[in-house]
Amino acid sequence: MSLDAPDSRGFTLVEVMVALGAMAIAFTALWVLHLSSLSIDMKNHSEIRAVFLANRQLEDLRSAAVLNFAGLADGTSTDNPEGAFTRTWQVTTVETWRKNVTVTVTWPESVRTRGGGKTKLTRSLVLTSTLVDLELF
């Protein structure tokens, strides 16, 4: 068999370079997808944590209302249950047997701008409920 036979086996350098270029584009796309997935995961984690903190405070207020409805005083209170989260709740008496409760959880979040920079925003979550004096019924 001669060296210039048309049925020679193997890949040329151009074929190898084209295949490597296609693989590099595919892996770059997968890497960008992975990074955006991590960013969304971190955002979702913060939102889930905020829902948990708000719901926990709402349940504490419900328990207090069951034990002593009249003792649940009107007003606004704030605490920092963990890290960067700030939790505020407000109790308002609508009637002697009914109170409205609003729990707000806020936290900072970094967001990318169109220019590629980052800016801090304050996100918030609000849960509301109505508490009723069960002893009257």
Give 14-41 pLDDT, tens digit per residue. 999 999 999 999 999 999 999 889 988 9
Give the Cα separation of 108 and 86 in Å (integer): 10
Q: How far, rounded to the nearest angstrom, does the alpha carbon of residue 64 sit from its chain's CA centroid?
A: 29
pTM metric for this prediction:
0.74
Q: Tell me the domain boundaries of the chain.
A: 13-136
> Could you tell me if 108 and 93 are in contact, meaning their C-beta atoms sit under 8 angstroms apart?
no
